[in-house]
Amino acid sequence: MDFTKRFWCGSLRPEDAGREVLLAGWVDALRDHGEVLFAHLRDRSGIVQIVFSPERSSADLCRAAELLRSEYCLVVRGRVEKRRAGTENANLETGAVEVFAAVMEILNASDTLPFTVSEKAMAAGERESEAVAEELRLKHRYLDLRRPSMQDNLIKRHRIFKCVRDYLDEKGFIEVETPTLTKSTPEGARDYLVPSRIHQGHFYALPQSPQLFKQLLMVSGFERYFQMARCFRDEDLRPNRQPEFTQLDLEASFIDEEFIYGLVEELTVRMFAVGGIDLTRPFPRMTHQEAMETMGSDRPDTRFGLRFIEATDLFRDTRYGIFRQILDRGGRIKGINIKGHSESLSKNVLQNEYAKEIVPAMGAKGMTWMRVVDGKLESNIVQFFSREEQAAILERFAAGNGDVLIMIADASPDLVHSVLGQLRLHLAERLEMIPPGIFAPLWVTDFPLFEATEEGVTSSHHPFTSPHRADFDPENREELLGLKSRAYDLVVNGEELGGGSIRIHDRNLQSRIFRSLGLSNEAVEEKFGFFLRALDFGTPPHGGLALGMDRVVSMVLGVSSIREVIAFPKNRSAQCPLTQAPSDVSREQLGELGLLDLGGDKALPGTVKKEDLLEYLSWVSRIGVNETERPALEKALAEASLLAAAIDKMETDAEPVFSVAPVKGRIRAGGEPVVSPYSESRALFANAPAMKGRYFKVAGILE
């Protein structure tokens, strides 16, 4: 068969009736009507129905068609005909036609499938597709990717990438590739390392971002650079993160923030348009401080209100003891007005759920709530407030009947913001205040340049970010903490899609930043020597930004996980179920790379010898051991090993038993799954040492 004459399955329409066509693809689904057999044939373009009937096809062909099974690969020649009225399939774009097979050849059979690939029902009322466990999908990703929805995701991803490249090309940007084998930087604690066989005991690192290289390209005078860069980060597990991810990295010279905003806004509008989403320009902007003060987040979700209202001054002379004490310690009181929700937020919900459980789990010591009924405040503590205070609250919060006011008071303003920020999201979700189908982009600007550490300060972004002003004293911690940076983040619907900054191009300023960070000249030389040297050769002013493309694509396509827009992703445990990466390697391989006894002379903190049996067992069974317990435990292990030796010699032909009274085929009466009533109530949480909202709280995976 001559495949060049092939038609796309998905392209056939009633106008094609009467044509002889050659089709190739996979059997999506089959339906046997006795003598007549219907098959859905699927290729990348779509699905069309093939008919094998004794009236129109030879007896041999009908017999051959009986052998067909799902996902067989076929080529078919046949005649397109309009379906009889009433037999059209509205689920298919080709649903008004069918192809009567004249010739068919099975190009390849398929094994029994681990899950159904088909997503399109052959008749109305049938199940369209089934939910399959993600681990199984990833293990057979090549089959999962046969599904039209997954193909559509990757095709749209391609469209978005192409639109980025076209647009940036239009704007004079050059795509340049930077190396994947680079140098590990001392602070790059999450680097993936690649051993060098030639230089044994030395390692390359995979880039977490091409930051330094792209700045070097600006030094080289490319002026406008971009790259669809693959970046790597060996982070602890978090949902919706991948060890490798794709980032649009761009940098330009002789520009300022306005250039970046204009460029990236237009780019974002075009990318979202691929998914049929209209974004309006210009994107609103908000300083970091305003975002924190009004929404308690540096990536606020602006699709709904619930902005914070300042109330500290209303209680300057209050007699309410709790507020009094907080204000005496210089604290803050802020609140939100949940308009018209007093029905859904009953006294019981506010007091027993929010004040007692949810808000303490968010980190606050307490919460004050009031409901507005008949123009008056109603609450368990309202009697502590004077008439003037009550009137001032109503006025400040613009409160009317049916409103619910929630206030958080604490000595630490940061805590007030953080808790109200979490509460804002919690309430919006619970009360369904987020309008569906809305996209709210936002620039967050003017980030603090430094964050406080125990000893001094550290960069909030990275040490190459330009400060707003250069006339600061590197020794003055208070002044440093007040500095703002020329960094910006692009946030959509409360998710950070990317960020960047205008960089430092002046060697002297860069040195003073390093001094502020408390880095010695030697440390700076070791970490960034090559880069600082480059700044000495006429570096132009420059800046740029990086966008997380996996995240952008998943948001444009409206899928819940970035794994849905990556062809071969790792699972939630950073493993690839398909290839089983990461895998063990042979001793020979390690030997050739000089890795057999590496690090012997470098006693790194935290990398305790795992060959110690007690340490090993302590680790695998997650039971810590202190020095005083060690002797007793060593003795216990010696005893265990003696017992093992004692029975090792014994001979027996008996089958192992794991129970003295084995139970077979035990099924719960009725066979119905039973949900414990306690899983619905909050009783299971009553014993938990720490909670957050409706979850058990544990220590962070990252330090």
Partner 1 sequence: MSGIFAYRDGGSVVSGEGLLKGSSISVQANMSVAGWPTEAGSLALKGFKAIEDATVVKSLRDQGASIVGSTRMSELGLGLCGDEAARAVAEGFSAIALVTEHLGEARLSAAKAGLIGYKPSYGLVSRHGLLGLIPSMETIGILARSAADIATVMAAASGRDERDFSMPVEEVPDFLNGSGQPGIRTLGWIRESAACLETDDRKAFQRCLEGFAKAGLTPVEKSMKEFDLFRTVHQIIGSVEASSSAGKYDGVRFGYRTPSAKNWNEMYLKTRGEIFGPVIKPFLFQGAYYQFMEYDVFEKACRLRSHLMREVQRLLGEVDALVMPAVRRGFDPFEAASVPALYDAFLFTLPANLTGLPAVCFPFDDGGQARCPGVQIIGSRLSDAGLLALAGERMQTTTKES
Best CA proximity match to 542, nearest among 283, 295, 260, 232: 260
Minimum distance of partner 1 from residue 608's CB (angstroms): 12
Q: Which two tokens stand for residue 602?
A: 């470098």
- Which residue matches tokens 């009317």? 400
Strand partners, 26: 42, 73
Among 125, 646, 675, 680, binds partner 1 (CB under 8 A): 646
Among 189, 452, 585, 623, binds partner 1 (CB under 8 A): 623
**Is 66 or 639 the residue whose CB approaches partner 1 more closely?**
639
Among 34, 86, 186, 624, binds partner 1 (CB under 8 A): 624
Minimum distance of partner 1 from residue 555's CB (angstroms): 28
With CB under 8 A as the rule, give the number of residues binding partner 1: 58
Best CA proximity match to 320, nearest among 375, 371, 393: 393
Minimum distance of partner 1 from residue 637's CB (angstroms): 6
Among the listed ranges 344-352, 421-429, 590-598, 608-616, the one in contact with partner 1 (CB under 8 A) is 608-616
Q: What whole-number distance in Å separates Cα of residue 444 and Cα of residue 289?
A: 9
Minimum distance of partner 1 from residue 270's CB (angstroms): 41
CB 69 within 8 A of CB 34: no
Output the CA–CA distances (angstroms, integers) from residue 99 to 60, 66, 603, in the order listed: 18, 17, 72
517-523 contacts, C-beta under 8 A, 24 or more apart: 517/456, 517/457, 517/458, 517/459, 517/463, 518/455, 518/456, 518/457
- Which residue matches tokens 């960020």? 499
Site mask, partner 1, residues 236-275, x = CB under 8 A? x---------------------------------------
Minimum distance of partner 1 from residue 668's CB (angstroms): 7
Best CA proximity match to 215, nearest among 173, 190, 249: 249
Minimum distance of partner 1 from residue 572's CB (angstroms): 15
Coil, strand, or helix at residue 177? coil
Q: What whole-number distance in Å separates Cα of residue 603 and Cα of residue 657?
A: 46
**Is 199 or 238 the residue whose CB approaches partner 1 more closely?**
238
Q: What whole-number distance in Å separates Cα of residue 367 and Cα of residue 281?
A: 39
3-state helix, strand, coil in the chain (%, to 5): 30, 20, 45
Angle at 114 between CA 111 and CA 120, to 5 degrees: 95
Minimum distance of partner 1 from residue 46's CB (angstroms): 47
- Which residue matches tokens 């909050």? 682
Question: Does residue 391 interact with partner 1 by CB under 8 A?
Answer: no
CB 277 within 8 A of CB 598: no
Site mask, partner 1, residues 430-469, x = CB under 8 A? ----------------------------------------
Question: Does residue 574 interact with partner 1 by CB under 8 A?
Answer: no
Minimum distance of partner 1 from residue 614's CB (angstroms): 7
Dihedral angle computed from the Cα positions of residues 424, 425, 428 and 433, in that order, rounded to the nearest 10 degrees: 110
Site mask, partner 1, residues 325-364, x = CB under 8 A? ----------------------------------------
**Is 602 or 649 the residue whose CB approaches partner 1 more closely?**
649
Site for partner 1, residues 626 to 645, rule: CB under 8 A: 626, 629, 632-633, 635-637, 639-641, 643-644
Minimum distance of partner 1 from residue 648's CB (angstroms): 7
**Is 198 or 654 the residue whose CB approaches partner 1 more closely?**
654
Output the CA–CA distances (angstroms, integers) from residue 300 to 284, 287, 308, 682, in the order listed: 12, 11, 12, 30
Q: Which two tokens stand for residue 249?
A: 């990295």
Among the listed ranges 289-297, 454-462, 476-484, 615-623, the one in contact with partner 1 (CB under 8 A) is 615-623
Q: Which two tokens stand for residue 5?
A: 């004459």
CB 189 within 8 A of CB 196: no
**Is 59 or 686 the residue whose CB approaches partner 1 more closely?**
686
Minimum distance of partner 1 from residue 602's CB (angstroms): 22
CB 231 within 8 A of CB 207: yes
Site for partner 1, residues 647 to 686, rule: CB under 8 A: 647-648, 650, 652, 654-663, 666, 668-669, 678, 683-684, 686
**Is 34 or 631 the residue whose CB approaches partner 1 more closely?**
631
**Is 343 or 651 the residue whose CB approaches partner 1 more closely?**
651
**Is 568 or 696 the residue whose CB approaches partner 1 more closely?**
696
Site mask, partner 1, residues 201-240, x = CB under 8 A? -----------------------------------x----
Q: What whole-number distance in Å separates Cα of residue 449 and Cα of residue 504?
A: 12
Best CA proximity match to 630, nearest among 643, 618, 640, 619: 618
**Residue 670's Cα: distance from chain center in Å?**
41
Q: Which residues bind partner 1 (CB under 8 A)?
A: 236, 613-614, 616-626, 629, 632-633, 635-637, 639-641, 643-644, 646-648, 650, 652, 654-663, 666, 668-669, 678, 683-684, 686-690, 696, 698-703
